[in-house]
């Protein structure tokens, strides 16, 4: 019978655990806490091996920590390099005046080319920033993995010694795992400053999901049907309000993504906000901007005394119902180029064996996933505009109510997606909604002379989140979704809560270390 070794035991390849532990208990001069995990050969006995010194233990820990750091540094540097390079390419394309072509999307403003006198300096600064961020992110991931690895090694070693003394199964120390995860979370200090808050929010949302899952499993809180759709609707209410009326509180990349999906430009939202707030007639600059945008699309001039807010949202059609049906079709078509790489790249790089074994089946499943996700985005926009048109029809248009109702309607589109993707999309939307709400709260506090800034709050939140996630990974692995569990197992390695003493094995198997 073969079992997986712990981190500490896996350092000794082909080690006979039963013989080692029995000899350890039999020899009084060979304490259990200094058992060497390194046999000289497959046939060596415990009597022939000298006790393991403290320096050797330290060498073992450092070797394992450096191995984890190297793996994490390589993964983090590669990911951050890909992200920053793509961001710089898009930014340079906009600066050169070559805007990315998007269906039915006409940019409100186009940045001119760079000044020739500073082109070289800006390019060098961008390249230096790219390398610096890649190094910092790689250091962050590597330090996180190495610190948690050291914590796991120490906790496993103590648990194995206790298992030998108790002659039975001993569980890891839960407090030790929590402290190891919290200490690893402090590595966020090495991450790029611009990435700390998004990382803290991302992992905070995931830890909140895990905590809710554990509380539901223990019966502390009830299970809410379609909680993912409800969460999506509430988060979308904050996001749509911020997108329409307070764009500065959203991440710029996410705001441009919403612009692309909706095919509506900033002049439309400026005029729409003016109509909802009752600023009639509109200011001259807003009127000129919205009319320039309408003329570019081939529509007539917007006269606020003769037009309604629906004429801004769907100028091509007078009927709100027909306009939203067309919006669903066109929005779905606009989203297809977005989801083609999202589904095709993982199929090519990570599911190559399945693709070669059943190419037709895999291609059909990928095509259906692309169509389903594209329809979700189209329905998201169409249902949102339906809510706005409904408020105009019942004469309850206000900026706050319009943003909330638009988001509530749009979130119902999540029913189109697969159940496995619903919670992921809801959590992604929630992260942007929380960041937007936090920025609005800080701005409101500043206007009242208050200060809500807490130094190091992002690092503290990330440390608490990593402590909960690491605890769940070791003691409650079924509470994690399969994708996250596979990723953590690949990065961190296997971990079991219970360790066996003297299982009577002949040739224990090595596991991922």
Domain coverage including residue 428: 227-446
Confidence of residue 160 (pLDDT cuts 50, 70, 90): low
pLDDT confidence of residue 253: 83
Judgement on whether residues 238 and 190 belong to the same structural domain of the protein: no
Judgement on whether residues 39 and 170 belong to the same structural domain of the protein: yes
The answer, yes or no, to whether residue 418 has pLDDT greater than 60, is yes
* Structural domain count of the chain: 2
Judgement on whether residues 252 and 162 belong to the same structural domain of the protein: no
Judgement on whether residues 361 and 488 belong to the same structural domain of the protein: no
Judgement on whether residues 331 and 431 belong to the same structural domain of the protein: yes
Helix (H) or strand (E) holding 487: helix 482-492
Confidence of residue 91 (pLDDT cuts 50, 70, 90): low
Confidence of residue 130 (pLDDT cuts 50, 70, 90): confident
In a domain, 459, yes or no: no
Judgement on whether residues 69 and 157 belong to the same structural domain of the protein: yes
In a domain, 319, yes or no: yes
Q: What's phi and psi for 170, nearest 5 deg?
A: -130, 135
- How distant, in Å, are the alpha carbons of 87, 176, 509 from that of 115? 20, 56, 63
pLDDT confidence of residue 247: 86
Helix (H) or strand (E) holding 499: strand 498-499
For residue 451, what are its two tokens?
């200060």
In a domain, 239, yes or no: yes
In a domain, 469, yes or no: no
Judgement on whether residues 493 and 406 belong to the same structural domain of the protein: no
pLDDT tens, position by position, 284-303:
788 888 888 788 777 777 76
Judgement on whether residues 346 and 434 belong to the same structural domain of the protein: yes
pLDDT tens, position by position, 303-347:
666 667 787 888 888 888 898 999 999 999 988 988 988 898 888
Confidence of residue 187 (pLDDT cuts 50, 70, 90): very high
Hey, what long-range contacts does 474-482 have (CB within 8 A, 24 or more apart)? 474/172, 474/177, 475/172, 475/174, 475/177, 476/214, 479/210, 479/213, 479/214, 479/217, 480/210, 481/423
In a domain, 176, yes or no: yes
DSSP conformational letter for 29: T
Q: What's phi and psi for 106, nearest 5 deg?
A: -115, 115
Confidence of residue 125 (pLDDT cuts 50, 70, 90): low
Q: Mean pLDDT: which of 54-58, 78-82, 397-401, 416-420 is highest?
A: 416-420
Q: Would you call 100 exposed, middle or buried from its count of C-beta atoms within 10 A (0-12, 13-18, 19+)? A: exposed
Q: Is the dihedral of CA 284, 285, 290, 291 positive or negative?
A: positive
Judgement on whether residues 188 and 244 belong to the same structural domain of the protein: no
In a domain, 91, yes or no: yes
Judgement on whether residues 102 and 192 belong to the same structural domain of the protein: yes
pLDDT tens, position by position, 246-284:
888 998 888 888 888 888 877 888 888 888 877 777 777
Judgement on whether residues 428 and 361 belong to the same structural domain of the protein: yes
The answer, yes or no, to whether residue 124 has pLDDT greater than 60, is no
Instruction: For the chain, give the percent of residues with pLDDT over 70.
Output: 72
Rounded mean pLDDT, 180-188 = 92
**454 CB-near residues (< 8 Å, 6+ apart):** none
pTM of the model as a whole: 0.73
* More confident of the two residues 418 and 18: 418
Rounded mean pLDDT, 102-130 = 48
| Residue position matching structure tokens 């609707």 | 233
In a domain, 472, yes or no: no
Judgement on whether residues 190 and 236 belong to the same structural domain of the protein: no
């Amino acid at each position: 019978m073969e079992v997986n070794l712990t981190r500490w035991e896996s350092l000794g390849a082909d080690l006979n655990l039963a013989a080692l532990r029995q000899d350890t208990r039999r020899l009084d001069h060979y304490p259990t806490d200094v058992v060497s995990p390194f046999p000289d050969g497959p046939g060596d006995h415990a009597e022939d091996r000298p006790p393991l010194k403290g320096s050797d233990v330290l060498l073992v820990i450092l070797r394992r920590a450096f191995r984890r750091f190297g793996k994490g540094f390589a993964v983090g540097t590669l990911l951050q390099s890909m992200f920053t390079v793509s961001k710089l390419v898009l930014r340079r394309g906009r600066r050169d005046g070559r805007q990315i072509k998007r269906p039915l999307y006409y940019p409100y403003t186009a940045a001119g080319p760079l000044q020739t006198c500073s082109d070289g300096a800006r390019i060098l600064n961008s390249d230096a920033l790219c390398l610096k961020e890649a190094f910092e992110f790689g250091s962050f991931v590597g330090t996180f993995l190495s610190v948690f690895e050291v914590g796991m090694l120490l906790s496993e070693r103590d648990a194995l010694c206790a298992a030998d003394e108790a002659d039975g199964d001993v569980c890891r120390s839960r407090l030790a795992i929590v402290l190891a995860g919290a200490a690893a979370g402090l590595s966020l200090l090495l991450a790029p400053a611009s990435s700390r808050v998004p990382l803290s929010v991302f992992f905070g949302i995931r830890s909140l999901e895990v905590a809710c899952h554990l509380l539901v499993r223990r019966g502390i809180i009830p299970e809410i049907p379609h909680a993912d759709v409800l969460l999506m609707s509430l988060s979308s209410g904050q996001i749509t309000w911020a997108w329409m009326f307070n764009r500065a509180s959203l991440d710029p990349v996410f705001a441009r993504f919403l612009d692309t999906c909706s095919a509506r430009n900033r002049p439309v939202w400026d005029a729409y906000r003016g109509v909802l707030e009752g600023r009639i007639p509109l200011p001259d600059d807003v009127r000129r901007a919205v009319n320039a945008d309408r003329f570019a699309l081939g529509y007539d001039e917007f006269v606020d005394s003769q037009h309604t807010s629906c004429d801004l949202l769907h100028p091509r059609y007078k009927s709100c119902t027909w306009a939203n049906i067309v919006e669903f079709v066109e929005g779905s078509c606009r989203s297809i180029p977005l989801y083609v790489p999202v589904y095709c790249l993982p199929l090519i790089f990570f599911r190559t064996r399945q693709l070669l074994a059943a190419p037709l089946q895999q291609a059909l499943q990928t095509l259906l996933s692309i169509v389903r996700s594209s329809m979700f985005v189209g329905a998201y926009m169409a249902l949102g505009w339906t809510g706005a048109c409904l408020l105009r029809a019942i004469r309850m248009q206000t900026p706050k109510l319009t943003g909330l109702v638009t988001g509530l309607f749009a979130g119902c589109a999540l029913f189109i997606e697969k159940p496995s993707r619903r919670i992921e999309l809801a959590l992604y939307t929630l992260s942007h909604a929380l960041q937007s709400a936090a920025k609005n709260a800080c701005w409101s506090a500043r206007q009242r002379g208050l200060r809500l800034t807490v130094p190091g709050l992002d690092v503290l939140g990330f440390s608490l989140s990593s402590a909960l996630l690491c605890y769940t990974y070791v003691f409650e692995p079924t509470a994690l979704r399969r994708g996250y569990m596979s990723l953590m197992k690949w990065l961190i390695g296997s971990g079991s809560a219970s360790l066996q003493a003297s299982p009577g094995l002949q040739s224990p198997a090595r596991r991922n270390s």
